[in-house]
Structure 1
């Protein structure tokens, strides 16, 4: 029995939205559960950071490849395979016997998430057109908001009432629901002009981005001048140069470099990285601050984080409808300015303040980032021909996720450096070590490194460093907003191409 086309479209959208809920939950839940995971496995603060970093490394590095595979071998096939693997790996995580294997499984989850995300988003682009596509992707943005808003609360409640091991099976349940809908209602599609995957380009790009991201993540632990870190950066640079050379000589490149001639396309990619420094890093840093430094329970920290992510439940959909009257550049740029105001406000709220003093600026930050959040994905697939939606999704998602991984590593390193500066004038090994412990929420470990300082002085130094960091993030967000106002896409690359062609014709006629 066939079902109406509109209902089928909505069920496909629901399948992708459920997957979209599970991914931010998989990202934020371990941040809340990290102290409990540390108590189970042990390990240094830097080793525990890889619970998050391993997932981000593989997720961000493989999105471009996943997008190319979706265009060539079928969007439904890649989506279905990615979600299936994501579900199995989530079920396997609680069974890991060691932190090392746990991190390996998290890295494998990143591979599966890349396939699920690229396949699902590019499949969705085939179902909706025009304004309907922007509204559909705004619902996906709202779904991410649900995962972000309730992930920390649910994870905190599970950790406090039961055990952190029960967090990950919930992800498996969500994935199974998504799979049941997709298997029945999602139709297979692929790029009819695809001539196979650009494997040399795919492998070179994935290798280059992976090495670069690993170097960024390794630097806070080993130091930015460490020979290994410098060597990794050099290898990444040479690999990126090799990738550009490969892409210039293949008939069907994984990344169409000519797209970067168009300011509209570049604007969308710059927008993709904006939430990393203005919002995503707070999803990691704030739970660490609340639980490790402020002494909140996991549940209390989760509830407080709702102030940051609750606007994502509503405002992305609102932004989709507002595009009928306002341009995307106006909505996105204005949202980033609001977000910057919230960051500056939060920088004046020290450690030890009441929850309400923290909640209000967090709410402003969440409201500001919600406006571009609901528009970004739809705009990413609108700037290229429909047949290459997988490539567009891969480029945009790679920029966003890789940017988030890099942002988390850089911001953590800055917080550690700022903390060391506030703890003492000289960067002695004990001060640096104490600062690293504080940056990961380990107040007791910092006190062991500097027993004479006392918990109050350590918390005060961390608080001052956190405020300095937030002011830096404010400046970055304001600059990003200025760039967005200038370059954000107001149409499609096709429009730019037509204009460029018309100009050439006029030049020839003249």
Structure 2
């Protein structure tokens, strides 16, 4: 064990001669995923019209990606550790690009959902492994800078997605948002092949097929039940049965993993208060963000009459607020501690959501930009310190497992957020709209029918009903942020930056005893 620990230290301190080129390859890889994560939201109104998709279909187009991504994160990390991270990153990019190409030629909602699910599997290979390569090629004095570049590349894709996607949709059909991924993926594969070193962990844990199947099945069934609530209502037996079955499968995963001597998913991390409440601080903002990105593009398109490009540009205040807060969160934590900063971010989230919930169909864009910017700033002030609080508790041997678990929680929150908030939107929209037929399916359908039949009353009524539904969604987001902020303020240790609560001594001793070498093969 002593030799293994020494090897780990030597590897971490050795600077790879092509490390900055390797970082460029990793940045290109995650930039592709960042672009795709927001470009689809801009395309949702066009897809609803072209494919005849209702709110439930749109939810599954989003969730088909997120559920597979969340379920595959931990197995993907273990596969990369065992068989080589570079190899699996290239394979993930290839799968993502191939699935994008299938999405280009999809002719039905089911085909789009299948393509999105395959894209989620490819993204799950790229995301955790791209981060895990950094410590093997950068020495400690350069590692923070490298992680910052990696994170910036991920964030850069968020505002670029709506802009690029909106420009494409102004001139081409909705499938072009998938087509744009292909050349970007090819460039990322070339960069990864040329510049990334290969690295692996010869002592990586084995993947447990039973746990993997139970986790994936539980997530899929749980989200299915929540999605069906939009059509059937929350008291329907299919909905209740789906939710109960999903929770039972996830409960079986927890029970199985906590009883195994060598667990694939390390649930013992939740015994640490920083990890538990820091994870909540990262998860709830993700929940709010996916909710805003689900409803706002539909409002901008169907209510405000914006085209795809205009919709994309008008989402920029959210991303601008997020990027602005990234520069101030660390100094704030150093001065006031996690417990002082994170609840403040949650309050900003809630304030932006509640302000947005006072909107009406006649609001100008300036009002939307204000509350959207507040939400974006609150996202960064809450989420970035939340991640810091989590990472501060993880020893080097557990950093990969803990980070993958936190990312899984964020993706589950995103999937359930779209499902639950989408159900809330559909219920509020149809409850306010006093008509029957296709106009009830989505606001995009109602607007199309009203414009085709020349019915201004239906058009105004549908827009009013959708804004009412969006206001209810924003209120739900604000309440979630308030509750999360109160819990963090009550239970997160009042620590500052490096003074974060450390794992118990017994856990640290266990980590030291179980540490293993990370073998790096320089390409």
TM-score category, normalised to shorter length? 0.7 to 0.9
Q: Corresponding residue for 1:461?
A: 465
**1:437 paired to 2:447:** no
Contact 2:438–2:445 (Cα < 8 Å) also in 1: no
Tell me how far apart the structure 2 counterparts of residues 54 and 212 of structure 1 sit (CA, whole Å). 13
Aligned pairs (5 A) from 1:86-485: 86-127=96-137, 136-320=146-330, 324-375=334-385, 377=387, 380-423=390-433, 430=435, 434=439, 436-438=441-443, 442-444=446-448, 454-485=458-489
Query: Which deviates the most, 479-488 or 274-283?
Result: 479-488
Contact 1:192–1:387 (Cα < 8 Å) also in 2: no
Listed one character per residue, the Cα deviations across residues 140-173 of structure 1 (whole Å, up to 9, x for unaligned) are: 4433332221211211111112333332232223
Aligned pairs (5 A) from 1:62-81: 62-81=72-91
- Alpha-carbon offset, residue 283 of structure 1: 1.3
CA distance change for structure 1 residues 241 and 162 in 2, over 3 Å: closer, same or farther? closer
Listed one character per residue, the Cα deviations across residues 70-120 of structure 1 (whole Å, up to 9, x for unaligned) are: 333333333222122112222332123433222211111111111111221
Query: Which deviates the most, 248-257 or 12-21?
Result: 12-21
Contact 1:141–1:312 (Cα < 8 Å) also in 2: no
Q: Corresponding residue for 1:506?
A: none
Tell me how far apart the structure 2 counterparts of residues 501 and 70 of structure 1 sit (CA, whole Å). 25
Query: Which deviates the most, 401-410 or 217-226?
Result: 217-226
Tell me how far apart the structure 2 counterparts of residues 322 and 178 of structure 1 sit (CA, whole Å). 35
Tell me how far apart the structure 2 counterparts of residues 316 and 399 of structure 1 sit (CA, whole Å). 21
SS in 1 for 2:305: coil
Q: TM-score, normalised by structure 1?
A: 0.85
Contact 1:138–1:316 (Cα < 8 Å) also in 2: no
Tell me how far apart the structure 2 counterparts of residues 344 and 157 of structure 1 sit (CA, whole Å). 31
Contact 1:17–1:139 (Cα < 8 Å) also in 2: yes
Listed one character per residue, the Cα deviations across residues 307-347 of structure 1 (whole Å, up to 9, x for unaligned) are: 11123344324435655555344343322222222222222
SS in 2 for 1:5: coil
Equivalent residue for 1:497, pick from 497, 504, 518: 504
Q: Corresponding residue for 1:427?
A: none
Listed one character per residue, the Cα deviations across residues 375-423 of structure 1 (whole Å, up to 9, x for unaligned) are: 5556545533323333223211110011011011111111222234444
SS in 2 for 1:189: strand
Q: TM-score, normalised by structure 2?
A: 0.83
CA distance change for structure 1 residues 339 and 43 in 2, over 3 Å: closer, same or farther? closer
SS in 2 for 1:333: helix
Contact 2:346–2:379 (Cα < 8 Å) also in 1: yes
- Alpha-carbon offset, residue 176 of structure 1: 2.9
Aligned pairs (5 A) from 1:44-63: 44-63=54-73
Contact 1:138–1:317 (Cα < 8 Å) also in 2: no
- Alpha-carbon offset, residue 199 of structure 1: 2.8
Query: Which deviates the most, 140-149 or 104-113?
Result: 140-149
Tell me how far apart the structure 2 counterparts of residues 317 and 46 of structure 1 sit (CA, whole Å). 38
- Alpha-carbon offset, residue 195 of structure 1: 4.0
Contact 1:277–1:407 (Cα < 8 Å) also in 2: yes
Tell me how far apart the structure 2 counterparts of residues 357 and 150 of structure 1 sit (CA, whole Å). 22
Contact 2:275–2:389 (Cα < 8 Å) also in 1: no
Structure 1 runs not aligned, ≥5 long = 425-429, 503-510
Listed one character per residue, the Cα deviations across residues 46-85 of structure 1 (whole Å, up to 9, x for unaligned) are: 3344322211221122222223323333333332221221
- Alpha-carbon offset, residue 242 of structure 1: 2.2
Tell me how far apart the structure 2 counterparts of residues 225 and 389 of structure 1 sit (CA, whole Å). 41
Query: Which deviates the most, 280-289 or 19-28?
Result: 19-28
Contact 2:138–2:146 (Cα < 8 Å) also in 1: yes
- Alpha-carbon offset, residue 434 of structure 1: 4.8
Contact 1:278–1:340 (Cα < 8 Å) also in 2: no
- Alpha-carbon offset, residue 19 of structure 1: 2.7
Tell me how far apart the structure 1 counterparts of residues 285 and 63 of structure 2 sit (CA, whole Å). 17
Contact 2:356–2:474 (Cα < 8 Å) also in 1: yes
Contact 1:264–1:492 (Cα < 8 Å) also in 2: no
- Alpha-carbon offset, residue 231 of structure 1: 2.4
Contact 1:190–1:387 (Cα < 8 Å) also in 2: no
Query: Which deviates the most, 368-377 or 234-243?
Result: 368-377
- Alpha-carbon offset, residue 493 of structure 1: 9.1
**1:13 paired to 2:13:** no
CA distance change for structure 1 residues 93 and 124 in 2, over 3 Å: closer, same or farther? same
